[in-house]
Amino acid sequence: DQQVKQNSPSLSVQEGRISILNCDYTNSMFDYFLWYKKYPAEGPTFLISISSIKDKNEDGRFTVFLNKSAKHLSLHIVPSQPGDSAVYFCAAFPGAGSYQLTFGKGTKLSVIP
């Protein structure tokens, strides 16, 4: 039972354009969401997060949007750079007092120079 779904296993984008990575979740108890970025042969590194009380969080070129009613979040990268090529994992957390961080399967982003 996949509670966090990333339905696109891969995405290719031209350098300088926008990359949009999508994530859907099924558990309405999730109230904190994170994106991690993973390069080959390395561990995932934290990228950006959003609390359910917000619908947008921005950090430089990275913006995460949350649509609670649709149980959907997306990560926008503008402009995309070749160094952004990596696997991006969406993760969700039920909130304070819980340990269960649930990950999606990841989306492999390739930014073409």
Partner 1 sequence: DTAVSQTPKYLVTQMGNDKSIKCEQNLGHDTMYWYKQDSKKFLKIMFSYNNKELIINETVPNRFSPKSPDKAHLNLHINSLELGDSAVYFCASSQEWGSGEKLFFGSGTQLSVL
Binding site for partner 1 (CB under 8 A): 32, 34, 36, 41-46, 49, 89, 93, 95-101, 103, 105-106
| Cβ 26 to partner 1 shortest distance, Å | 15
Output the CA angle 35-23-81, nearest 5 degrees: 55
Distance of alpha carbon 102 from alpha carbon 110, whole angstroms: 24
In the complex, least distance from residue 81 CB atom to partner 1, rounded to whole angstroms = 22
H helix and E strand count, the chain: 0, 11
Residue 113, Cα to own-chain centre: how many angstroms? 22
Instruction: Name the minimum Å distance from CB 52 to partner 1.
Output: 11
Task: Please say which residue, 42 or 70, places its beta carbon nearer to partner 1.
Answer: 42
CB of 14 or CB of 45, closer to partner 1:
45
Distance of closest approach, residue 24 Cβ to partner 1, in angstroms:
15
Residue number, 42 or 113, with CB nearest to partner 1: 42
CB-nearer residue toward partner 1: 11 or 101: 101
Separation between Cα atoms, residue 38 and residue 100, nearest integer Å: 20
**CA distance between the termini of the chain:** 37
